[in-house]
Structure 1
């Protein structure tokens, strides 16, 4: 997609989805017009270790070419590029990037990374679309699209199987269109034909450029740390992924964080990550207490065999305390908490 000094339409379409997203994307992609004068880029949250069959699934009904993206392939209108497992999907001025940068909002691929890279590269030519999904990935990315003069679309939260993601965008971004899923394909088709604003009216901010660079990881450690420090102020919190210090980003709209490695979190995803870390720590504590109990029981038997009654009694007290503590931790781990819905996997 060569750069030229001419007017453009809205020819970069960016779509993000999470829980409930396979069905929503199949509907949306399947109904996009065959003559759509745009390239389409799609991120669906998915597990890292399982193969993706999304290209085959979406190709059954799509009028456009649907394919998994590969690094540095040229961008072509009329194509739908899908993120692959455990890799971020990014776009540059003329080609696609597929990289294993740090996770954002506990996801790789992440929606924010795609939206941010496109906002930097294409500005007003972007159409951002957020569909059904849990938590709030896509909100910060949509802010970047709007800051560069792009268009913000969301699936109506009332129409979404999981409304959290589009609702978060609606609460934090000046959304241009909020419509049911059924109306999105024709709306995207119409918007793609409209003339985009001049890119020079919406300059790339230093913060946007820095955050886009962090995902690509094409810098040394000193530059990485310096870049994160410029974005915010160090907090007392630690990263659930690498356990390094977190910087609170200077963002007046959304509370969010980054570590110097590059992991990024909204407040909601950070809490979720801390929950996972806490659960892991509790299971480790439970294991240690149960091992302590088993060891104590063996020591008690030995003490009784040798008629060391006082030692056996002391060991019995320690075993009972370990069992009591283990029971408390087990109850915490097994209490009835509603699980957070994650991605809806494509069938194998």
Structure 2
């Protein structure tokens, strides 16, 4: 599943986005707000029930101005690309490659955000960006701590703007974010971060 032109090789800025209940519309808002020159890689993790189709990827492919794709195991990350794993997959980053594993268990599904964030922290260090959006429970909080400890940046949707504020509230209790705001404001902040980045 792809949209728009081919990506511009590898990137240094890796943005991991985690969302659950109530967070899908925020994902769409952020993706719609990113320009075609966005110099970064976005990877999205959610708690979607396993299904045959990657519906979220299909929706984003119609809305995004940059490439949308499904990550494959051992595939290299590409710049100016949004990756949406299938709902039955745990997606992690190992260096500049994806580590994708099929796991349909509830435990794996409810920890996919933490797993992604921690791997991005280890692989990207200060170039890691974690974004927590609306969702139930606390998945993503451990991953945000890892990103913060690695020198990366943490961004959290304002709890007052989230349909389900549990994930943002848990994250705010554990890390000091560089930005808190609405989904549209987060998109603008990501654009500012990308201004200082180049694809390589």
Measure, in 2, the Cα distance between the counterparts of 1:28 and 1:176. 17
2:83 to 77, 81, 84: 81
Question: Which has the greater radius of gyration?
Answer: 1
1:4-23 equivalences under 5 Å are 11-23=13-25
1:118 to 120, 123, 142: 120
- In the alignment, structure 1 segments of 5+ residues that lack a partner are 3-7, 196-348
Residue 138 (structure 1) aligns with = 140
Measure, in 2, the Cα distance between the counterparts of 1:18 and 1:125. 24
Q: Secondary structure at the match of 1:60?
A: helix
- In the alignment, structure 2 segments of 5+ residues that lack a partner are 1-8
Residue 46 (structure 1) aligns with = 48
Runs (4+) off by over 6 Å: none
User: Is residue 52–residue 85 contact of structure 1 (8 Å, CA) maintained in 2?
Assistant: yes
User: Is residue 89–residue 109 contact of structure 1 (8 Å, CA) maintained in 2?
Assistant: no
Tell me, yes or no, if structure 1 residue 151 matches structure 2 residue 153: yes
User: Is residue 23–residue 162 contact of structure 2 (8 Å, CA) maintained in 1?
Assistant: no
Q: Secondary structure at the match of 1:54?
A: helix
Deviation at 1:58, TM superposition (A): 0.7
Greater length-normalized contact order (CA 8 Å, ≥ 6 residues apart): 2
1:1-348 equivalences under 5 Å are 11-100=13-102, 107=109, 110-194=112-196
Residue 342 (structure 1) aligns with = none
User: Is residue 131–residue 165 contact of structure 1 (8 Å, CA) maintained in 2?
Assistant: yes
Deviation at 1:178, TM superposition (A): 0.7
- The structure-2 alpha-carbon separation of the partners of 1:114 and 1:58, relative to structure 1 and needing over 3 Å to count, comes to same
Under a length normalisation based on structure 1, what TM-score does the superposition of the two structures give? 0.51
Q: Deviations over 1:245-277 (max 9, x none)?
A: xxxxxxxxxxxxxxxxxxxxxxxxxxxxxxxxx
Moved more, 43-52 or 28-37: 43-52
Q: Secondary structure at the match of 1:114?
A: helix
- The structure-2 alpha-carbon separation of the partners of 1:135 and 1:109, relative to structure 1 and needing over 3 Å to count, comes to closer
- The structure-2 alpha-carbon separation of the partners of 1:167 and 1:105, relative to structure 1 and needing over 3 Å to count, comes to farther
When the two chains are superposed, the root-mean-square deviation of aligned CA atoms in Å is 2.0
Measure, in 2, the Cα distance between the counterparts of 1:25 and 1:152. 16
Please identify which structure carries the higher strand content.
2
Measure, in 2, the Cα distance between the counterparts of 1:174 and 1:109. 21
Under a length normalisation based on structure 2, what TM-score does the superposition of the two structures give? 0.87
User: Is residue 103–residue 109 contact of structure 1 (8 Å, CA) maintained in 2?
Assistant: no
Deviation at 1:180, TM superposition (A): 1.2
Q: Deviations over 1:282-329 (max 9, x none)?
A: xxxxxxxxxxxxxxxxxxxxxxxxxxxxxxxxxxxxxxxxxxxxxxxx
Measure, in 2, the Cα distance between the counterparts of 1:105 and 1:155. 24
Deviation at 1:108, TM superposition (A): 5.6
Deviation at 1:68, TM superposition (A): 1.4
Measure, in 2, the Cα distance between the counterparts of 1:92 and 1:61. 28
Deviation at 1:191, TM superposition (A): 1.3
Q: Secondary structure at the match of 2:31?
A: helix
